[in-house]
A = this chain, B = another copy of it.
């Protein structure tokens, strides 16, 4: 498998672009379009927040009706959420306009929005820009970069990656982009992810692969514990690779899932690395679990603990907070069997402290990448949750977002 980090995510048979239509100030890009040259099978996973953007409702419906898609139009700067009935009407008008410009059925256009909640979307700006958006499609190689920039909100960097592999003589490519730096938590928190692949794969199998891949990637990252109203990850497969159709349970499926998971994990971890105010990248791994749920609850409790996250920011070897968060997870475990390691330093063995010299720990905590490993020594299941620390800047960014 060839993994191209930060590479142009262009995939055969897909085009993309991004421009500024005036939703954001100062000519900052705020409108993106991804298009497949031919109808593609498509699957999506969406936020579990019970308050959702009309865009989420629109795209979920469109996918469940046909399982096919040709285009995704995405705006940043406004979430088009909690805006009353206008929200859904705007989705209708925008997808209709984009479909007209592309000469494709409206039902094959998905829509996503990200930005401030509760402010009516100035949709006329998007409608006005739609012809230009379509004209610019595929004009230059940099258009994928423009698209990934146009979906940013408080992100400091655009996020994209590409993976390709050969299977039975055919090269299959997967490219994607993601967005998000705050409101990030398992189950799609103000986070957008778009993956394109040239694989031949049916809608049902694609949905299964996406669900499995997001459960090891986008659903395992947390910045601040909040789920947004707008999150989605969508994958389009246009079949240009001419491989034998991928079926669940086959070696071909396993290879595809591996590539999709690698790509999704990379795109998800970029979001954590760009977490609002983040100074550390933290992996919390729980192993030796009886069930995946037990392992997940514990990993998530540690990864979301404000006390653990502030201690990590302060490089404070207050490991008791880690163990306290383990106990807080709402999952049963045997405290006398727990081992905890921080960057390979054994802090706790069988639930008792190892009395490691604090100065060794301080050094470990000064690393940019922190790996907290918790072994329950009770089974074979594991889960990983990726998070960042909690800094002054997190508070600053979030105290001053709309004003």
Contact = CB atoms under 8 A, between A and B. Distances in A.
Contact of A327 (B229, B327, B331): B229
Q: Is the interface of A mostly helix, strand, loop or mixed?
A: loop
Contact of A395 (B85, B329, B390): B390
B79 A307 contact: no
Contacts of A335: 50-51
A314 interface: yes
Interface of A: 49-52, 79, 81-85, 116-118, 182-183, 224-229, 304-307, 310-311, 313-321, 323-329, 331-333, 335, 348, 351-353, 362, 390-392, 394-396, 398-403
B348 A82 contact: yes
Given A229-B327, A305-B225, A324-B51, A316 B399 contact: yes
B183 A400 contact: no
A398 B324 contact: no
A306 B398 contact: yes
A224 B307 contact: yes
B323 A117 contact: yes
Contacts of A85: 352
Given A316-B403, A317-B402, A51 B82 contact: no
Nearest to A329: B50
A87 B310 CA distance: 27
Given A49-B327, A395-B392, A226 B307 contact: yes
Contacts of A304: 225
A226 B81 contact: no
A6 B362 CA distance: 41
Contact of A402 (B118, B224, B316, B352): B316
A317 B400 CA distance: 10
Nearest to A326: B51
12 contacts: A50-B332, A50-B333, A81-B320, A83-B353, A116-B320, A226-B325, A229-B324, A306-B394, A307-B398, A310-B394, A314-B398, A394-B395
B306 A226 contact: yes
B306 A82 contact: no
Given A226-B328, A310-B394, A320 B352 contact: no
A226 B390 CA distance: 14
Nearest to A348: B82
A106 to B, nearest CB: 26
Given A49-B324, A335-B51, A353-B118, A403 B226 contact: no
Contacts of A305: 225-226
Given A328-B226, A351-B82, A399 B51 contact: no
The 8 closest A-B pairs by CB, nearest first: A117-B320, A314-B399, A51-B327, A310-B398, A118-B320, A84-B352, A49-B327, A50-B327
Contacts of A319: 118
Contacts of A306: 224-226, 306, 394, 398
Contacts of A227: 324, 327-328
Contacts of A307: 182-183, 224, 226, 398
